[in-house]
Every structure is written in C-alpha cells, then in structure tokens.
C-alpha cells in the first residue's frame, strides 16, 4: 500500500518523475509499438528469458554451497527444526520476492516491467539517503559472501579432482612461506578442507575455476540461461546418484533424532541458502512478458526446498560424517566403496562445477 501511494504521488510530481526516469534509464515509455523497440534497444538485450529459464536461474541460486551442509545439520539438530525453518524461509523469501516485484511495477513507466529497474535503483528511488546506502552495503556483503563461498568450495574441490586424476595439484603460496607448493594424495587425505592445508595459496584449481567462470561473467544474464538450464539438468542427475547411494548404503533412523539441544547452526545454515531475492530484479528485467512471476517464484523455491529436505533427511540417515566440519561430499567419499564409490566420487567432483560455478557469473552480473 505504501508503494502504491508513493507511486500515485510520483505520477503527479514532474520533478520526481524525472528522477525516476533517470534511475530507470527511460525518459518516456509509450504503450504502443515503440515499447517493443525500447525493450530491444535497452541495455542488456531483449526480454526473452522463458519460464524454464527463470526456474533454472532461481533454482540454481538457491541450490548453492549450503546444500551439502544440510545432512550434517539434520544429524546435529534433528529433523524438526531444520524442516520448519526451511518451510518458513521458503514462504518468506517467496513473499519478499513478490513484494519486490510489486514495488518495481509501481515505478512510473514500468507497470509491466518495460524498463530495467535494478535492486539498487529501487532502493535509491524509495528510501532515504541513509537507508539507500545501508541497503547497498548489505546487498554487496551478501553477494560477496555467496561468491566467496562458491569460489572457495569450487577451487578446493577442483584441486581434489586434479589430485585424483593426475595425483598432484600445484599452487603459488603467499603466506607463510612464499613460493611454490605441491599437494598430492597424502595431502588430500590429511583431513584438511584444502589439500594445501592452512596456508594462503593461489591454486591450480582456482585458476581453472577462474578460466571457466570469467568469460560467463562478461555476458548478459539472458546469455547465461543456457548454462543455467544445463546445470539444472546435470544437478538432477547428480541428485539421483546421491539417492541411489543413500539407499544402497542403508538408512538408520537412530542417526537422526526429532530434536536435539544443539540448534545453534540451524537458522544461519538454512537462511544462507535463501539469499536469492537480490537476483529477482535482474531476472524481471530479462524475463519474457508472458512468463508468470508467481508460478516461477513458487515453483523454484518449492522444488529447491523439497530437494533440500529430502537430501538432508536421507543423507543424514545414510552416512556417518567424518567430523563436525565435514559435509555431504566428504561423507560420500568416506563411506562408499567399490563401483558405487567410483560413480559417487565423480559426482562429488562434478557438483561444485555444476551447482556452484554456474552461479558465480550470475552473482557477478547482477
């Protein structure tokens, strides 16, 4: 209601309308054939992201690095509170995204999302100066947190994959002993999250991740949709293999209680996975006019939440985790054997490349 009232006031305030036009990059938007021309000539290309492309984009942004930590969370906290927290986050994030879309539609000349109103532009238009800068700071920190976690996990897993295939990975060590560093199979089996231990290094795995993701970050968002669709298809293949591994390993209900006293990690772990709302304006700017906003949002969040809960429950029932710092990828490597181990090993190394590396360009573009 507040946004609607502010919009009505803006329509009658020519000075404010000029500010809106400057923010949105649209000096005038007519509701005729010129509108179609304006869309094609606007920065970012035509609005051609379809329904499946939108679902793939949002699903990939939800299915980030936090996914592999969910099974351990179910063992530590029980199945009740993580499941309820996921359901609550799904509803709240979907409603927040719908409200954000409504706010974008109240901008003069953007009632049908003809223009390109980004998250920062909307905050600048409706918020006071201090709130605008606070919003930009929080948005930047959120993007950096998601980018750093995705890059680090992808680089570490890529180094482990290189060691598995070629028995070695290399790095330039920055601290504490500047120079040249080598990691082999014994380093990978040391129990550290990185095969290079606690040193500060620029690894060969990081260089591979950089070489793959940097070109994609240069393209427009709609140019990355093919990659997003391919990543979703590959992820479902990986998830299918994981479920096969869960049932072959055997499910033990004693591993997952209903509730425990250790609830310290629930909110932070779950909430981190639903920080996709800041990508919604960029998706709206590129989506096809006939694509339903509500259907796309609720299907994406509902499907991701269902998979989160299923992987969390069955992964926790199937595996013992090596340590309190380990994740599902570590548990699969440690508990599988024979042919299943080979296939699972491949999927463990593919998951960061598919789920995480595909989201790195998106967070860079928006």
- Pair 107, 22: CB distance under 8 Å: no
E strand or H helix that includes residue 98? helix 80-105
Is the bond leading into 143 cis (omega within 30 degrees of zero)?
A: no
- Pair 229, 334: CB distance under 8 Å: no
Cα angle 321, 325, 326 (rounded to 5 degrees) comes to 40
- Pair 239, 311: CB distance under 8 Å: yes
Against a cut of 0.85, is the pTM above it?
A: no
Task: Quote the radius of gyration of the chain (alpha carbons, Å).
Answer: 23
Q: How far apart are CA 25 and CA 49, in angstroms?
A: 21
**pLDDT for the residue 116:** 85
Q: How far apart are CA 261 and CA 178, in angstroms?
A: 44
**pLDDT for the residue 324:** 77
| Residue among 150, 74, 69 nearest 330 (CA) | 69
**pLDDT for the residue 3:** 42
Residue 308 burial by CB count (10 A; 0-12/13-18/19+): exposed, middle or buried? buried
Q: How far apart are CA 55 and CA 299, in angstroms?
A: 7
Residues of the chain with pLDDT under 70: 1-46, 188-191
């Amino acid at each position: 209601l507040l946004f609607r009232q502010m919009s009505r006031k803006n329509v009658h305030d020519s000075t404010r309308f000029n500010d809106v036009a400057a923010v949105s990059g649209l000096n005038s938007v007519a509701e005729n054939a010129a509108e179609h021309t304006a869309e094609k000539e606007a920065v970012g290309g035509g609005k051609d992201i379809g329904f499946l492309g939108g679902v793939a984009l949002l699903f990939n942004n939800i299915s980030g690095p936090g996914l592999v930590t969910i099974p351990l969370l179910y063992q530590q906290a029980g199945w009740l509170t993580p499941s309820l927290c996921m359901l609550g986050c799904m509803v709240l994030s979907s409603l927040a995204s719908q409200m954000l879309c409504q706010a974008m539609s109240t901008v003069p000349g953007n009632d049908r999302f003809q223009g390109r109103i980004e998250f920062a532009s909307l905050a600048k238009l409706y918020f006071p100066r201090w709130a605008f800068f606070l919003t930009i700071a929080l948005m930047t920190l959120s993007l950096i947190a998601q980018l750093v976690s995705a890059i680090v996990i992808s680089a570490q897993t890529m180094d482990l994959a290189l060691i598995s295939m070629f028995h070695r990975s290399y790095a330039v060590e920055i601290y504490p002993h500047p120079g040249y560093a080598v990691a082999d199979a014994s380093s990978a089996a040391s129990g550290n999250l990185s095969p290079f231990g606690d040193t500060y290094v620029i690894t060969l795995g990081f260089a591979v991740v950089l070489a793959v993701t940097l070109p994609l970050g240069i393209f427009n968002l709609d140019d990355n949709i093919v990659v997003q669709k391919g990543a979703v298809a590959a992820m479902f293949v990986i998830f299918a293999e994981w479920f096969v591994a869960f049932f072959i390993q055997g499910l033990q209900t004693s591993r997952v209680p209903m509730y425990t006293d250790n609830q310290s990690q629930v909110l932070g772990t779950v909430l981190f996975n639903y920080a996709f709302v800041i990508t919604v304006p960029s998706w709206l700017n590129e989506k096809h006019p006939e694509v339903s906003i509500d259907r796309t949002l609720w299907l994406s969040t509902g499907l991701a939440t269902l998979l989160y809960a299923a992987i969390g429950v069955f992964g926790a029932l199937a595996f013992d985790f090596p340590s309190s710092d380990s994740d599902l990828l570590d548990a699969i490597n440690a508990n599988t054997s024979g042919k299943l181990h080979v296939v699972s090993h491949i999927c463990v190394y593919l998951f960061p490349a598919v789920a995480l590396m595909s989201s790195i360009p998106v967070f860079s573009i928006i």
